[in-house]
Structure 1
Amino acid sequence: MAQVSQPRKNRTTRIFAGRLVGTPVVDPIGDHVGRVADIVILLRFRGKPRAVGLVVEVGNRRRVFLPFTRVTSMEAGAVIMTGRLDIRRFKQRNAESMAIADIMDRLVEFKDGTGLGRVADIALGQTPQRDWVVEEYYVERVRQSTLGYRRTGESLLVEVGSITGKAIAGLPQDASSLLATLENLKPADLADSLHDLSDQRMIEVAQQLPDDRLADVLEELSDDDRILIITALEDKRAADVLDAMQPDDAADLVSELPEAQQEQLLELMEPEEAEDVRRLLNYAEHTAGGLMTTEPIILPPDATVAMLLANVRREDIPATLAAIVFVTRPPLETPTGKFLGVVHIQRALREPPQTLIGQILDTDVEGVDPETSIGTLTRLMATYNLTAVPVVDEAGKLLGAVSVDDVLDHLMPDDWRDAEDEITDRTIEENAAHG
């Protein structure tokens, strides 16, 4: 039988990792500093794993390290710290494991041969020397079935030495607990969190995200990360995720794959979505055709302002594309009929709902050729304060639109997220030095 933990008198102070996540971190005078995002643990060959500190999420979703030597109290729903918080972005070291990201939800094996379990929580205890160690694991027994691994309903606290310290080879790790902590993050912030995980853990988490959520996240990840994820998915699932992505982002991702895999995924995608991606693949990467999306908001001139406002409210429309509506003759699917002009959302808001948008057209915004360079697009957007530029063919038909966020993504260096962290760190340190 697994060695079940027994109640002890004079038990040292202890906390559960799952309950600690999300707890506010405050300084000695009670000012809010951030919230606990994870706990850093050092696994040992002998003895109990040691918890060395907290990962704290501070302003702008930055995650920093707070050692337990700076923590004076973890009571009454708050972590109280002392001293200064190191604002450098936390980067996990090889010897470190994360309580939530790496250990919780892990499938483990009971050493007495009684089966498998899932780590549902981690009990941390404080020693007389004021060190924090992993005392016990709260484990839910699971059994294998034709549908995977199911819980049996039995849960127990077990000593550290009663289960294997590593996941069983070949078994994926569930990500329920980790996903719960990331549930409310915006796609860009969730992408940052996934980027901080190991490759294997990133794949495990991505595989458990819904298609539309994963599509949003892939649009925010670097090429290396999203290629790693998309190639780890089953082909049908990968095609479904590509269907949910913006066509230009899907085309960018597909273009990075081997030709054989490109064709296989395109065949599995919805025909209309695949057609858009194929069309975009024909253009060079840093041209208007290569940057554009084929799904901006397109309406006919006899549509009303009320219809326009209903379209820009759609949740699947990025903010940069919701600020401007493209007006064309039918058909309204790209390539459309003749491009007539645009309507700016700010202008539409000043008009009665029944106004025809053909009456408030801005015809000064001209379309660009699909071979237009990114440099020309940048100057055009800056000169006329545009959030999106129409792309038209020789016959004046609308092919798509290039949004300002697509241009920015391609102007920034490949490692712009890490570079931004270094710049931010340096700026904060300089400001602090000057009071």
Structure 2
Amino acid sequence: MAGELIYAFRVMRLPLLDAGGSPIGQIEDLVAIPGRPASRGQPAVAPRIVGFVASSQRRRIFVNANRVEELNSDGARLRSWDVDLNPFKPRPGEVLINAELIDRRIGTETVSDVGLLQAGDGRSTWWEIDKVRLSRRGGIGRRPTYRLADASELPGLFDSPTAMEAEAARLRDFHPAEVAAVVRKLPDAQRRQIAHAMDDERLADVLEELPEEEQIRIVEGLDRERLVGVFDEMEFDDLADLLGQMSHAQQERMLDVMDDEDEEVVRRLLSYEEGTAGGLMTPEVIILGPTATVAEALAEIRNPDWVVSIAAQVFVCQAPFKTPTGRFLGVVHMQRLLREPPAMEIRQIVDDCPTVLPDTSDAEVAEQLASYDLLAVAVCDAAGRLLGAVTVDDVIDRMLGTEWRKRHRPTRSTGSVTP
């Protein structure tokens, strides 16, 4: 439907199709974010659709607009076969077209539909809200009248309660590093506002991309309930790095909001010297026993919550299967798993691999990763128990030093607020 106006009500009657064209759900609503008027030499940005709410397998799920390959009269067809079945959660700054916008009163008129127009920049495409269909009730015995208005004529229709909520919504699909670059340009008051507008998972991702001192300034402004939610979403190694920059009193306050198990893990990480494998490692890796099957290992690797460097291999250990584990046996790499039958036990394909001790220097860790072409190297104690792993991205972070995150990095045009 490129180049032609498509109405939201029409989209909300379409099936959600997998990459092969088979129906897997039904679209129920569209999720929009605010636009931005032209200002300071920047062009206006129209409100746009960032995704669709669909019912699938008795769940209401969110489908990112970037994952839709084609939208036509047959339905919304996905680019890939993967479907995120996590329940849909509305975020601050977003507007649900059907649930919140349709039937909204504007003076003597009522919003009855919105018209979408496909747009693009040569690299990607999206759907902008171009028109708003307004109806006016007729007199006794008269039919309602309708008119089409440009979305730009109704600038307040898609506005969020605050500018920072609108900004957080516009940044939804940006990489956390790009969002962090935007946040760093804001004064402290606006940083706190945009942090408040982000959900816990998004704020955790952005914090991990900021220098520690800037993380501290944001974290100190969060109440206890928000700290619990954000810390629960952060990686343990990033959390330990953050607390490692705080005073003892600040550390104890932050540790106090964690549950006992998480607190124990973070305290253990804080006990290692900076610049060592222990200080760099993450205790959250994929761990299975030797009798687990190839199918079970691949199922773990498919979990989208694992970062690429962790999902590249499975660490095989004797029980218990949580760090610190039983005796470490070796690793099975993803490529090997893809070549073997699903029912095979992974003990048959375990690779012997180098390990490092917690007090191994970061330079020696980097040499091991480079020498064996690894994305992660196991950290074991003197008894051969797995404590965690150091990933190549953490080593690169260390090699770049503490100042690299402060240097300016280009970001996509967002229509961001200007301090």
Short-chain TM bin: 0.5 to 0.7
The corresponding residue for 1:356 is: 345
Deviations 1:334-361 (A, max 9, x none): 1000000001001111111111111110
The corresponding residue for 2:245 is: 256
Shift in Å at residue 175 of structure 1? 2.0
| 1:368–1:391 CA contact under 8 A, matched in 2 | yes
| 2:357–2:380 CA contact under 8 A, matched in 1 | yes
| 1:370–1:392 CA contact under 8 A, matched in 2 | yes
Q: SS of the residue aligned with 1:349?
A: helix
* Shift in CA distance, 282/417, structure 1 to aligned 2, threshold 3 Å: closer
The corresponding residue for 2:195 is: 206
Q: Identity across aligned pairs (percent)? A: 45
Q: CA RMSD in A?
A: 2.7
* Shift in CA distance, 157/338, structure 1 to aligned 2, threshold 3 Å: closer
* Shift in CA distance, 236/360, structure 1 to aligned 2, threshold 3 Å: same
For structure 2, list consecutive stretches of 5 or more residues without a partner in the other structure: 1-32, 46-92, 94-153, 411-419
* Shift in CA distance, 55/221, structure 1 to aligned 2, threshold 3 Å: farther
Shift in Å at residue 157 of structure 1? 9.0
* Structure 1 ranges of 4+ moved more than 3 A: 17-21, 51-56, 417-422
The corresponding residue for 2:391 is: 403
* Shift in CA distance, 290/157, structure 1 to aligned 2, threshold 3 Å: closer
Q: 2:44 & 2:215 partners in 1: Cα distance?
A: 25
The corresponding residue for 1:281 is: 270
Shift in Å at residue 18 of structure 1? 5.3
Determine whether 1:381 maps to 2:369. yes
* Shift in CA distance, 195/273, structure 1 to aligned 2, threshold 3 Å: same
Q: 2:405 & 2:248 partners in 1: Cα distance?
A: 29
Task: Identify which of 392, 396, 413 aligns with 2:380.
Answer: 392
Larger mean CA deviation between 271-280 and 334-343 belongs to 271-280
The corresponding residue for 2:210 is: 221
The corresponding residue for 1:312 is: 301
Q: 1:210 & 1:181 partners in 2: Cα distance?
A: 14
Q: 1:388 & 1:332 partners in 2: Cα distance?
A: 18
Deviations 1:185-218 (A, max 9, x none): 1222222221222222122111221112211111
| 2:210–2:405 CA contact under 8 A, matched in 1 | no
Shift in Å at residue 240 of structure 1? 2.7
TM-score, with normalisation over the residues of structure 1? 0.58
* Shift in CA distance, 336/19, structure 1 to aligned 2, threshold 3 Å: closer
Q: SS of the residue aligned with 2:209?
A: coil
Shift in Å at residue 378 of structure 1? 0.7
Determine whether 1:327 maps to 2:316. yes
Shift in Å at residue 278 of structure 1? 0.5
Shift in Å at residue 394 of structure 1? 0.7
TM-score, with normalisation over the residues of structure 2? 0.60
| 1:327–1:341 CA contact under 8 A, matched in 2 | yes
Deviations 1:113-140 (A, max 9, x none): xxxxxxxxxxxxxxxxxxxxxxxxxxxx
Structure label with greater radius of gyration: 1
Count of aligned pairs between the two proteins? 268
The corresponding residue for 1:338 is: 327
* Shift in CA distance, 397/18, structure 1 to aligned 2, threshold 3 Å: closer
* Shift in CA distance, 54/302, structure 1 to aligned 2, threshold 3 Å: same
* Shift in CA distance, 214/157, structure 1 to aligned 2, threshold 3 Å: closer
Shift in Å at residue 366 of structure 1? 2.3
Amino acid at match of 1:371: D
| 1:211–1:241 CA contact under 8 A, matched in 2 | yes
Q: 1:416 & 1:196 partners in 2: Cα distance?
A: 15
For structure 1, list consecutive stretches of 5 or more residues without a partner in the other structure: 1-16, 22-38, 41-50, 57-100, 102-155, 159-171, 423-435
Determine whether 1:246 maps to 2:255. no
Deviations 1:22-49 (A, max 9, x none): xxxxxxxxxxxxxxxxx55xxxxxxxxx
Q: SS of the residue aligned with 1:389?
A: strand
The corresponding residue for 1:413 is: 401
